[in-house]
Amino acid sequence: MIGGLLGVTKKSGAIQAGIGSLVERMRGRERWMIPVLMGVFALGGTSYGMAEESLAFYALVITVMIAAGYDALVGAAVVLLGCGIGVLGSTVNPFATGIASGNRRVPISEGLLGRLVILPLGLAIGIVFVVRYADRVKRDPSKSVVYAMKAENEPRFQGEAGAGVAKLTGRHKAILAVFALAFVVMIHGVIPSEDMGIGGSPPDGGDSRK
């Protein structure tokens, strides 16, 4: 369903226009896209276990990173490490922490403090790792581990990113807002708020450990 949503949104041209606009706005500050995007993917990982759902985003993020002067591996690392670190520090992820807590008959809030430490610490380490590699590639493209693919990738991805720079319309912005809202609703829907004592009592009406 996420892939379908992304496909429909991309067909409208909103994503291509958004990518072009992002690259244009961040010109000269491309390094900041790495921590921002990794933070977004980590949020998906820690809240609802974003992993295979991220597959549809690889081409988009790689497009952004190549247009910014990096290589395809930087884009892949942003998505893979961002989501992976988020899942590693699964604060309220119902598909990992939630199931594990249910099996052990403890509330999902048990151990939350430790996960809240793992998440930002792991994310900081991941961001530093990716930024250092990205800076090395930008200074000397031959240092890229996928340098052999440079001639093939750059014309295609840079052309796609540049196609929408001046075409981000109000309609595109509205489509992208709905696109983002869909993920907000999904995250809200999967967070087990009752198990955390938010919005009501536990399903059994008593001790959440039972």
What is the DSSP track for 94-155? IIIIIHHHHHHT--TTTTHHHHHHHHHHHHHHHHHHHHHHHHHHHH-GGG-TTGGGHHHHHH
8 A C-beta contact, residue 6 and residue 182: no
Residue type, 123: L
| Token digits of residue 76 | 């892949």
Q: Per-residue pLDDT tens, the chain, 210 aa: give them.
A: 766 777 788 788 887 777 667 767 777 787 898 999 899 889 888 887 888 878 878 888 888 888 888 999 999 999 999 999 999 998 888 778 878 888 888 887 788 899 999 999 999 999 999 999 999 999 999 999 988 887 777 766 655 544 444 478 898 899 889 988 887 787 677 666 666 565 554 444 444 444
The burial class, CB within 10 Å (0-12 / 13-18 / 19+), for 66 is: buried
In the block, residue with structure tokens 């536990």: 202
* Integer angstrom CA distances of residue 19 from 95, 164, 173: 31, 7, 12
User: Is the pTM for the entire model greater than 0.85?
Assistant: no
Residue type, 59: A
| Residues in contact with 199: Cβ distance below 8 Å, sequence separation at least 6, in sequence order | 193
* Integer angstrom CA distances of residue 207 from 91, 190, 191, 201, 204: 21, 22, 19, 9, 7
